[in-house]
Structure 1
Amino acid sequence: MNEAITPIKQPANAVETSATATGFRKSLRRLYRSKWMMIMMIPGLLYYLLFHYVPMVGILIAFQDYNLLKGIWGSPWVGWDNFRTVFNSPDFPLILRNTLIISVYRIVFNMLPDVILALMLNEIRSRWFKRVVQTITYGPHFLSWIIVYGIVFSLFAPGSGLFTTFVRDMGWGDLNLLTDANYFRPLLIASDLWKNVGFGAIIYLAALASINQELYEAAVVDGAGRWRQMWHITLPGIRSVFVLLLILRMGSILDAGFDQVYIFLNARVYDVGDIIDTWVFRQGLEQLNFSIAAATGVFKSVIGLVFILGANKLAKKVGGSGIW
């Protein structure tokens, strides 16, 4: 009588080990097939490693009484004392308020014009006119803030600016926009808008180009006009891009544009124009107080991370798509 042959069962851990080994071999084969792509990635990875991750060791300066001669590894450790010095500084409430106000102004008054300009250019049917407008609007983006300030100074310099002289000759009084605290922030926003609105519109034009044109054709068949098409097709089509850019800007809400503010800043507008970055510049480079400057930088990074996480979570809750 033949006995039934019972299959030999392998232990569970042996099966798992075999599956792991098989998956590892498959991964190695995929890497080998993509070896040239991996080699091409090496320069980029080295760049981020050397210039973005290795310098993060400098965060230690924020917790030290840093001394240039002793270096990072020889400077004494002071813990949170530098952060207490920053938060207890009489200038901190002022620079924090100015930074937040200017950053919010940039977000509110600079993002919407980008969208509006992109929508207007998208409705233009004359290609040559559209190209001319694009060239004129995004050309200033490639100018440095030094050149932009030179243009602004030639127009609004107290006593000698072109527009200032015109206002005085017309008998309307003296105009001192560059040294008037009431006009400093609007001047920052207006010059930033003139410089970057065209370049910002390019991103939304790229998003508009990706919208399926059949949606517009179907809307026309249903009798929808241009405004209805814009409201129900165009704006939803660029909503994800707008949310993405908003989240990224929220991450840099404590930056407020150091280059522009530092160039435009003068003694008469410190109360409304002095921001965290200009204060850090004076502390770190002018007074050589590197520990205070590093502590402020760590504070900015933490706040930026919190704003990015919060904005990303809020975007997902309201039905948008976040960064991840």
Structure 2
Amino acid sequence: MAKAEAAKEVRRKQLIDATIRAIGRVGYASATLTHVASEAGLSPGIVNFYFKSKEQLLIATLEQIAEEYSAFWQAAINKGKVSPAAGLEAMIEADFHPTVCNVEKVSIWYAFWAEARSNASYHDVVNNLEQDYLAQTETLCQRIIQEGGYGDVNARDVAIGLNAMIDGMWFDCLMEPKTFNRQEAKRICRLYLASVFPAHFSGGSRKAKGDNDNAVVVALDQEAQGRQAHRARIAAALRKRLEPVGQLRREVLAASTGVSVKILESWLDGRAEPNSWQMGRLIVATDAQLWFDIYGPMHEEAQRHFEARLASAQEQAIRERAALAALAGKKDA
């Protein structure tokens, strides 16, 4: 009996893996049980024996990739028990691991995100996973804030920014798989964290409050990072894409994102902002440039700060080498 159950599970997984490949090849809407059977090298009758409908197979597929993804980042969280910074580092590694971040898997995620607004089963799985991930990320950020004395940094803001950034990188993987560079994606995520937590992610040190360059060392300047400025960038980026400036109708964008028009309007007037899951769906409903319109200034500022710190460290190293050479010359004399 145990062997029979094990064989059944092997066959189910084979069909789920075939479903992932089929959706990656022909798309969510076009994928049929016949496509799945062809990918698995089995007859359609075998597929129907294990899954009575396409919907049943799709739910099983979503549950499998959700469990797989959860296992990856839960392992990362375990690393965070030693160090919260190590936990975030490991979560970034997990998010861009080839097993998780590849065209087939990302295609599946975006397909289910798009369908979640009209399918309660999909919505529950996706939303629960996203909210759990955000909460865990926020917890790690909060531990770093307490550990490093980053009193002016909000853990939830950092977590939402990081999660939205990763969603945007996944979209790049989906749209430009041949040029997508996972190492570069991880570098950009770390650069973002270094701009907020310099003592933990860039080898820098926290300056005491009142130091002249404190605003540079702590994170991004208020113009680039402030909450109202961030919401203003979101509103401006969305208005560019909505009628009458753009081509999208408010009702269509709200429905595609899985929110009401009232919530969308709260984003447009700066009273609220989308969470990372909603931001990912906004990118799908509009275009990849949306992410750059919103987060581009933060990355540009982070890059300037990083380059300034690097130049300062190099100048310090030159001065130290010159001093050592001078001392060595005096000793020889």
One fold, TM greater than 0.5? no
Q: Greater CA radius of gyration, 1 or 2?
A: 1
TM-score, normalised on structure 1? 0.27
TM-score, normalised on structure 2? 0.27
